[in-house]
Amino acid sequence: MSDRVRPRTFDYAQRADVALQLDLYHPGGGTRPLILFGYGGGFAKGSRDAEIHQPFIQRLCGAGCAVAVPDYRLKTSAADVDDDTMVQITRIANRVDRQGWSLKRRLHGVRLFTACEDFSDALRFCRDRSGEMQIAPDKTGMLGVSAGALAGNTLCYPPGVWRARFAAPDAMVSLCAPVLHPWRIRADGPPLWIIHGRKDRIVPSAASDTTAAAAAATSASITVTIPPDAPHIGIDRYVLETRTDSGSTYFDDIITFLRQHIATCI
C-alpha cells in the first residue's frame, strides 16, 4: 500500500539499559484523537512493527484517528519487579485463579503487570507530548487484542493497590479478553466494550460472562458482546470483515463507540 500512513518512532520509556519505543501513525489534517493499540502474543511474542497489525492500524487512521503502537516488555519474570510488587502480583494472581477460568498464570501474573506498566507509561508519554504529536490531549482511547486487551482492561479496572500506579485510557475496546479482576469493576470506570467469541480456545469467553455479570451488578459502563462464531486467532480480520445484525461491520461499530466516548471528530 503506497498511500498508507507511515509512522514516526519515539522512545517513550527506559527500562534498565533498554529504551521502549512506540510508533505513531498520524493521518494528517491537524489534531487527531489518539488510539493506543495493544497487540497480542501472550506476553511472549509480538512487535509494534509487525505487518499483521497494518490492516487495523490503517483502517483506524482512515477513520480519522492517530494510532500509537508501543512495544512492551515480553517474557518478564520476578527479576523485573521489586519484592513487594511480586508479593502483590502473586496474591492478586491467586485470586484470579480462584475464578475458575483455567487461565495460564503467564496471562495474569508478572507479565501482565509489566505490560500494564509499559502501556501506562506510553499513555502518559503521549498525553505529555500531545502538542508535538498533534493529538487531542483530553481524551485517549485504547484498543487491545488478546494480551494487549488483558493489559488494557486491567488499566481500566486495576486491583486497588495498583489504581494510583497506572494511567487509564478514557475508553477501551477489548478483543478476546475479560476484565481479569472483576471484583474491581466500578460504576465510575472508563467505558469498555468487550468483543469475545464463543469459539475462543485460548481465553475462555466464560471469563467475559463474569465481566458482564459484574458490570450489571455495579452499573459499570461495560458492554460485552459474545459472537458465537468469533475465534481468537484472526479476531482482527473477523472484526474488520464481519457484519452485525444491524448490517454494519464490528469495526464500524467500534468507530461509533470511540466517537461517542473520546471524539466527535472521528
- At 6, the pLDDT band (50, 70, 90 cuts) reads very high
User: Which helix (H) or strand (E) segment is 24 a member of?
Assistant: strand 18-25
- Which residues lie across from 68 on neighbouring strands? 24, 36
Query: To 5 degrees, how large is the angle CA 13–CA 121–CA 189?
Result: 175
Give the model's pLDDT for residue 188.
Answer: 95
Condensed to tens digits (0 to 9), the pLDDT of residues 180-230 reads: 999 999 999 999 999 999 999 999 999 999 999 999 999 999 999 999 999
Give the model's pLDDT for residue 215.
Answer: 98
Give the model's pLDDT for residue 265.
Answer: 62
CA dihedral 190, 193, 199, 205 (to 10 degrees): 40
List the domains of the chain with CATH numbers: 7-261 (3.40.50.1820)
Condensed to tens digits (0 to 9), the pLDDT of residues 69-93 reads: 999 999 999 999 999 999 999 999 9
Q: 97: which 3 cell numbers?
A: 485463579
Is 2's pLDDT higher than 60?
no
* Edge-to-edge strand ranges of the sheet holding 222-225: 7-15, 18-25, 66-70, 32-38, 135-145, 171-175, 192-195, 222-225
Residues 161 and 191: their CA atoms lie apart, in Å, by 21
Give the model's pLDDT for residue 3.
Answer: 84
In the predicted model, what is the mean pLDDT of residues 163-179?
97
CA-based torsion, 155, 118, 40, 103: positive or negative:
negative
Is pTM beyond 0.85? Reply is yes
Condensed to tens digits (0 to 9), the pLDDT of residues 7-33 reads: 999 999 999 889 999 999 999 999 999
Residues 208 and 206: their CA atoms lie apart, in Å, by 5
Is 1's pLDDT higher than 80?
no
Condensed to tens digits (0 to 9), the pLDDT of residues 240-266 reads: 999 998 899 999 999 999 999 997 666
Residue that has been written with the C-alpha cell 494472581 in this structure: 93
CA dihedral 218, 264, 249, 39 (to 10 degrees): -70
